Amino acid sequence: MKIVITGGGGFVGSHAALTYAQQGHEVVIIDSLARGRLLKKDIPTHNWDRLEAVEGVTRVKGDICDFGLLKDTIAGADAIIHTAAQTAVTTSVVNPVPDFASNAIGTFHVLEAARQQDIKTVVYASTNKVYGENVNAVPIVEEEQRYAFDKVKGITEEFSIDRCEHTPYGCSKLTGDLYAQDYGHLYGLRTGVFRMSCIYGTHQFGVEDQGWVAWFTIATLMNKPITIFGDGKQVRDVLYVSDLVNAYDTFIKSKVKHGVWNTGGGPSNTMSLLELLDILEEATGKRAAMSFGDWRPSDQKVYISDITKIGKELGWKPTVGPKQGVQKLVEWVQANKQLF
């Protein structure tokens, strides 16, 4: 197959690119490298650079909002994996214009280019943030180190996306989510919408406002202070990046026409911020200096994906547990301290 990956120089996109290249497929990645520039370090092109010498991977530096370039890049593709996005909630609040341009307009361009070029399959990397503050209406209980849902095991795809605050990031990603669904229904594209929970893994440059599992790991090992916004009992289901790529691949190679799937570790793979610090202390013998700040806008105290639907429709389930995944991340950071 020929697989085109938008945001292929990013964390998830580069993992997907490497996976397909190792399988012998032709891979084309397109990336503006905007995310890397936000890191304000000498590592903005790490994931882009590591694909340079990989056989079967072609790199195109460009913006998905450049419609002509995008159409040329995807020509002849069997599938598009659309991971390009502005990914940080706090960035979207401070500067919503580029967030909308990338996440809403950029996604529209990908779908319209696919329609015009007769590309049949599009994977859209959506987010649990499409449910917004509605999640906080679900009853919870407070435990010693975490919050937990009181009445449900997880959030299903039928949960309301409407009549609540989302943040600009949630709104822009929801726009793309809905357009991906509609292009499937209206124009016959095979569209897989993956509403992702917290994805983590190696080659992830987590920072304070995005990628918390990687950020806590980097901060612990590099002796950097951590600020916890809220009380640290917030809980997420976490999913190791290789399991996410496998979910994408399962859809692409299936006969499923289209679908919307909550995609995370599910109820069996959860942790709070405080619990992650304990896991890191066990793995490294260190505990980062920590302070607390105000809750962030529309933060969800608990978000856990109900992954029943994706299990039934795609036969997919996570395989890497939190302790195993965090250990992989620890080992990668330890081996690459020069990057931080």
CA dist., res. 76 & res. 74, Å (int)? 6
CA dist., res. 189 & res. 115, Å (int)? 7
**Set 20, 124, 131, 169: catalytic member:** 169
Minimal CA–CA distance to 295: which of 163, 161, 167, 151? 167
Per the annotation, the verdict on 169 as an active-site residue is: yes
286: CB partners within 8 A, 6+ apart? 220, 221, 223, 280
144: CB partners within 8 A, 6+ apart? none
> Which position has the token pair 């978000």?
303
Cβ atoms of 221 and 337 closer than 8 Å: yes
Residue type, 33: L
Residues annotated catalytic, as ranges: 169
